[in-house]
Structure 1
Amino acid sequence: MRHVILILFWGLTTTIQATTPSVSTDSIHTLKHVLKIHLSYPDSALRLLDTMEETNTAPLFLLQAQRAMLYGSHNKHHLVINYGQKALQHDSLQACPKYYLQTLTCCVEAYRKLNEHHQAIHLLEKGLAFARAQKNPTVEANFLFTAGQTYYQLNKKKEANQYFQKAIRLGEEGSYKLKPYLSYFYGEIFSILFDEGKYQEALEYCDKREKLIQQMSSFKQIPIGYIDQQYAYLYSKKACVLSRLNRKAEAATYYHKFKQTRFSHTPQGQESILVYWMEIGQYDSVIQFCQQQKPHDTITSDYAQQLTIQAKAHEGKKEYKRALEYQKRLTAINDSLNKKNIEEEMAELATIYQLKEKENEIQQQHEQIQKTIIIRNLLAGAFGLVCLLLWMAWHHLRTIQKKNRLMANSINTVLDCEQKIETLEKETSFTQEKEEAEETSVETDSHLFKRMEQIIKEEKLFLNPDLNRQDILNRLPIDKNRFAKIMQENSQTTLPQYLSNLRIKYAINQLKEHPNYTIQAIADESGFSNLRSFQRIFKAKTGMTPSEYKTAIEQTISEK
């Protein structure tokens, strides 16, 4: 999908200049400058975007789109979706076609990386409709092919093939500008067929690609270096598939053609021939190539791929001990990669959580300002006092309803983030806690609290309105004098407050899942001793009563 993003960057500078307020030509506070530095200096680019948002240097939706693109370049998929979806909600974004398509592309890529393929398909359908309306066959073809890849990942091969063929048909019927993308399509379909063991069909796509490259070589607009690269890729793939078809002599001929290309002498070119070397038993060449590559960071998927290739090469040489050594290193790298990915995802979710909190705070400040203005207007004139009071009552009701809907959505978002963070924390901290517990016979206060919290949540003890301290002490090796200290240090609350928090969260979920339940039924099911206590605590925690929250949720659903 990255090649689609590169397409959209062409001419993006013109779009930026046409849609942003006029500023000094040497100013760094421009989207053009941010676009220029966002890959090399992402932190500086983010600070510039913050300043531009504070000073209203550019429209907010363009800044949000730029943030989505920036985070997409650094694989922060949750943040891409957070800002990209906000930008897409602005109708004005469609007035900037390149920005709109770029934002769609970034969000599609993020959803695919997060395995949320149905969301990706929904955005691809919007992108296809827009590309057709804009009469942009290049973007349309790429969106069609990406849709095919997404359906293929969902194991819907029939639908995937339909989209693949539509994309190919556009490429075959289009101008020279579409031919490089058509070559890419042929190559990707070859890889799919090759992996499925459909070697004869894969060979047919190689033949199509060879004819296409011959055609492209006659176009003066296409660089010679690109043609050389395409021939190198083609020859390496064709040598592999011919070898699998046991047509060894023909495979050797295409391997010889591959070596005659300039691209074959580059690291990328040599990497493309590794599969063929494995096919013909040139394991030493494979091992030598991998050892010559010196990664800047060993905790990467590229380095893990190198280890996999070297392990297979040593297996081919029947050097099973060496192969096992590489497999062990690969296992360690994969464990580190998983841990690194979890930590990065936790950091992203924490950032989104903080952004939501900040947005809530700004909203509350805005509402406070609105109330202040209303009060000042009331004091400004007595003549229209009655009319003004009537207007205030109406406006206040609307404001409360809007606030309740916003607060309900915010509460739901915060709870979702807390659940995701809690899940990720369990995954990363379980092993460490187990090792620390084995090293000492005396459990720390933190361990005891986590054990207590696990028992209360998993067994839903908090739903018992009569649950007290002694019930918990009976389950854990804690004396009553130490219990209060553990609660205060680890939750900053007392046991009744802690249980009330859990009951409120449970009640919120029940209100969402069972809209037909009465408030009394929710209170009873959530572990509250009486309705009055439930309403008082709910109001203190959320800023609204259970009935107001229920109404806000119903209004939000009806608006959708």
Structure 2
Amino acid sequence: MRKYLFFSIKLSIFAHRNHIVRIIIHEINKNAMAEKCIMRILLTFIVALGIVSCGNNTSRSTDMTDANDSIYTIEYINHICYLHPERALELLDTMEQRKLLGQNDINGLRAVIYQNGLDQSNVALKYAKRIYDSPDMLKDTVVAIKTYNIISLLSHQTGHYAEAMKYANEGSAYALSAGDNLKAATILLTAGYSIASLGHNAEAINYIDRAINVLKSLNNDKDYDTQRHILVGQMQKANIYMSTGQTDKAMALFDDIQKAYDNISKCDLVPEGHLEKYKGDINYMLITCYTEKNMMNEAARCYEEIMKLPKTHSIGKMVAPYLIATKQFDKALSLISESKHYMALTRDTVTDYYIENILLQEENIYKGMGRYKDALRVADNIKSITDSIMKREREHEAQEMATIYDMADKELQIANQETKLRNGRILVTVALALLLVAVVVIFIVVRYNRIIKMKNRAAVATIDELMATREKLQKKEEQIPNSLTDYRPAEKSKQETKSNEETKGQQTKTEKGQTSETDYRTSETENRKPETEKQQTMTIDKLRREVEERKLFLDPLFDRNKAKETFPELNIRTLSAEFSQQYGISFPRYITSLRIDYALMLLCTDKDISVETIAAKSGFATRQTFYRSFTERFGISPSEYRRMKEAKM
């Protein structure tokens, strides 16, 4: 019956393990809404993190929307750079901060603004060099060729002739390799002008000839840009010869110059006034050469051609040498006076051009007329303007230096702002990531605690049901009419009678000599073995009853050796195995189970004593052993069981 009791308890434990699972599932379903709320909170944090991390892209999209406004375009910047350069620079700063344009485009536009709008060639050159130093320049052929062209021109204008030659050589080679012969020729012309400024006339002419040959190889007789560059190149060669006193070589070029001019006159889309300008420049060069060669008839013909042109500020300077040579001082003075008046109204007069082409001619006229006092006055005016030019150049250089310093300071500020923004974005992202991790950890902890609570509730319910089942089984055992104690002696008498009969039979067989000594011993062993096993079974059953009735398990030192003292006939070496065979549980685990059951009863009935005291009263040697045994059996600690039991009540 006891074996049935323990077997039934084991079945109940397995059944209630499944019951625990059902209770957990029920609790999870009951709290589904709470979990959905937590998931919504987590989703909200994830969305917030995504919004913040994409905040820069969102703001950039807004900026791109603003960029559709016409003020944030390259076309608009180019349109206002001449008249409103400061406004153009402000717009460029905004576009750079918003990253609406690439850095090379920004630097190129700044170079144009400082060159054409503010007349600060050094600052423009600095921005052009940034494009040149950029690793992305050569990735775009158009940008690269434009950069070489601009940087060679700016270097020439700022007096950096050696650098201009370097950039021109690189640019022409790159343009030729890219198949853009027109740009290659343009850059070669710039190199020739720079070399001429250095005084290397032969080398300069060589560069100009190379450029002209490239242009002629294009066979674009109707293309204005091609023919214009050919004409300008030929005229520049003539100027070089004229500046070095090689008038004959200069005059030998005029047939080619006239041919280039005729080609331009046949081109389509020639800008208005350009033909007249080129015709005036050609006749000015011719009249200068003819005057030097004392070829006055040819000079007079050129003079008549010039006078047919629309009157401009340059008419006086073109014909003044001829009129002075022919002693037509009054006419020369009249034309120079008209040019002075025209320039005073339309152009800046504090320039080298005004001195060389107007004032020096006026001084020569006064000297030719014998009006030395007026000539001295003009000379003083020249000196005053020269001083003003030098002063303005110094101020201009200082302004350019200040602009460069301001530019460096502004760039540093922009870099610092970008660093702060980047660090701020990193901090916000890290903070949100940590917050998200914290929320996830909290969610996991809360969920884990909820699961533990559900398991504990299921464990308490299981323990209560197991206790109730145990009580029912004990009551059924007590209702059995014949106890094992009454049953065992009767069984023993039958066994003794049967054993005596078998013994007599064995003696009869011995007397008759029909059984050998070996067969007799084997038979005797086989007959005594069942008797020994049954006696051991009765002893174990009696031991179990004694342990439960006298509560021997409450002694922390009670074990197999103590049981041997109470029942000397026990075989302690086979006790655990035989006990397990009879009741389905080993003897040590049986004792531990009784102690746990007793402790469970104390936990439910006596609320005033501590768990440590209950462990000691239940026969556990230490508190740790009690906690470990209780938790292994029920999946919940004793203190948690008591707490939940009290909360349930």
TM-score, with structure 1 as normaliser: 0.58
The equivalent residue for 2:96 is: 53
CA offsets 1:450-480 (integer angstroms, 9 cap, x no match) = xxxxxxxxxxxxxxxxxxxxxxxxxxxxxxx
Deviation at 1:201, TM superposition (A): 0.7
Distance 1:256 1:226 in 2: 19
Deviation at 1:290, TM superposition (A): 3.0
- Change in Cα spacing, 1:378 to 1:96, as seen in structure 2 (3 Å) is closer
Map 1:420-435 onto structure 2 (within 5 A).
none
Would the aligned equivalents of 2:72 and 2:95 in 1 still touch at CA under 8 Å?
yes
Query: Could you tell me which of 104, 113, 130 is aligned with 1:86?
Result: 130
- Change in Cα spacing, 1:48 to 1:167, as seen in structure 2 (3 Å) is same
Deviation at 1:24, TM superposition (A): 6.5
The equivalent residue for 2:369 is: 317
The equivalent residue for 1:390 is: none
> Which AA in structure 2 matches 1:37?
I
- Change in Cα spacing, 1:269 to 1:339, as seen in structure 2 (3 Å) is same
Map 1:263-282 onto structure 2 (within 5 A).
263=310, 265-282=311-328
Distance 1:370 1:214 in 2: 62
> Which AA in structure 1 matches 2:354?
Y
> Which AA in structure 1 matches 2:323?
W
- Change in Cα spacing, 1:281 to 1:186, as seen in structure 2 (3 Å) is farther
- Change in Cα spacing, 1:39 to 1:286, as seen in structure 2 (3 Å) is farther
Query: Could you tell me which of 104, 108, 112 is aligned with 1:69?
Result: 112
Matched, 1:136 2:161: no
Distance 1:275 1:141 in 2: 34
- Change in Cα spacing, 1:361 to 1:41, as seen in structure 2 (3 Å) is closer
Map 1:493-508 onto structure 2 (within 5 A).
none
Matched, 1:351 2:403: yes
Distance 1:66 1:34 in 2: 8
Matched, 1:300 2:346: no
- Change in Cα spacing, 1:99 to 1:35, as seen in structure 2 (3 Å) is farther
Deviation at 1:283, TM superposition (A): 3.0
The equivalent residue for 1:214 is: 262
Deviation at 1:68, TM superposition (A): 0.5
Distance 2:67 2:415 in 1: 33
- Change in Cα spacing, 1:172 to 1:282, as seen in structure 2 (3 Å) is farther
The equivalent residue for 1:475 is: none
SS of the residue corresponding to residue 72 of structure 2 reads: coil
The equivalent residue for 1:290 is: 336
Query: Could you tell me which of 208, 211, 216 is aligned with 1:164?
Result: 208
Matched, 1:43 2:86: yes
Deviation at 1:337, TM superposition (A): 1.2
Distance 2:383 2:209 in 1: 39
Query: Could you tell me which of 249, 264, 277 is aligned with 1:201?
Result: 249
The equivalent residue for 1:244 is: 292
Deviation at 1:366, TM superposition (A): 5.6
Matched, 1:101 2:145: yes
SS of the residue corresponding to residue 294 of structure 2 reads: coil
Deviation at 1:193, TM superposition (A): 1.2
> Which AA in structure 1 matches 2:199?
N
Query: Could you tell me which of 320, 327, 335 is aligned with 2:387?
Result: 335
Would the aligned equivalents of 2:241 and 2:249 in 1 still touch at CA under 8 Å?
yes
Distance 2:334 2:260 in 1: 34
- Change in Cα spacing, 1:201 to 1:246, as seen in structure 2 (3 Å) is same
SS of the residue corresponding to residue 155 of structure 1 reads: coil
SS of the residue corresponding to residue 136 of structure 2 reads: helix
Map 1:394-409 onto structure 2 (within 5 A).
none
> Which AA in structure 2 matches 1:301?
D
SS of the residue corresponding to residue 266 of structure 1 reads: coil
Would the aligned equivalents of 1:101 and 1:127 in 2 still touch at CA under 8 Å?
yes
- Change in Cα spacing, 1:302 to 1:225, as seen in structure 2 (3 Å) is closer
Distance 2:130 2:282 in 1: 42
Query: Could you tell me which of 191, 199, 202 is aligned with 1:155?
Result: 199
Deviation at 1:87, TM superposition (A): 2.4
Unmatched runs of 5 consecutive residues or more in structure 2: 1-62, 435-649
- Change in Cα spacing, 1:21 to 1:65, as seen in structure 2 (3 Å) is farther
- Change in Cα spacing, 1:372 to 1:49, as seen in structure 2 (3 Å) is closer
> Which AA in structure 1 matches 2:280?
A
Would the aligned equivalents of 2:152 and 2:187 in 1 still touch at CA under 8 Å?
no
SS of the residue corresponding to residue 158 of structure 1 reads: helix
Residue range with higher mean Cα deviation, 173-182 or 339-348: 173-182
> Which AA in structure 2 matches 1:172?
K
Distance 2:169 2:379 in 1: 42
CA offsets 1:145-182 (integer angstroms, 9 cap, x no match) = 11112112222233212102101222333312211211
Deviation at 1:225, TM superposition (A): 5.0
The equivalent residue for 2:302 is: 254
Would the aligned equivalents of 2:110 and 2:124 in 1 still touch at CA under 8 Å?
yes
- Change in Cα spacing, 1:326 to 1:40, as seen in structure 2 (3 Å) is same
* RMSD of aligned alpha carbons: 3.2
Deviation at 1:47, TM superposition (A): 1.7
The equivalent residue for 1:385 is: none
The equivalent residue for 1:231 is: 279
Distance 1:21 1:137 in 2: 37
Distance 1:334 1:376 in 2: 62
Relative CO higher for 1 or 2, CA cutoff 8 Å, sep ≥ 6? Answer: 2
CA offsets 1:100-128 (integer angstroms, 9 cap, x no match) = 43443333233223322222222212221
CA offsets 1:63-120 (integer angstroms, 9 cap, x no match) = 1110001111132122112222222333434455444434433332332233222222
- Change in Cα spacing, 1:376 to 1:43, as seen in structure 2 (3 Å) is closer
The equivalent residue for 2:513 is: none
Would the aligned equivalents of 1:121 and 1:147 in 2 still touch at CA under 8 Å?
yes
Distance 1:291 1:255 in 2: 18
Distance 2:81 2:149 in 1: 17
CA offsets 1:279-334 (integer angstroms, 9 cap, x no match) = 33333333223322332544333433322221122122222221111111111111
> Which AA in structure 1 matches 2:337?
Q
Distance 1:224 1:366 in 2: 49
Matched, 1:118 2:162: yes
> Which AA in structure 2 matches 1:288?
S
Deviation at 1:259, TM superposition (A): 3.1
The equivalent residue for 1:189 is: 237
Counting aligned pairs with the same residue, the percent is 22
Distance 1:374 1:216 in 2: 62
Deviation at 1:367, TM superposition (A): 5.7
The equivalent residue for 1:428 is: none
Distance 1:327 1:279 in 2: 21
Structure with max Cα Rg:
2
Distance 2:142 2:321 in 1: 38
Deviation at 1:342, TM superposition (A): 0.5
TM-score, with structure 2 as normaliser: 0.51
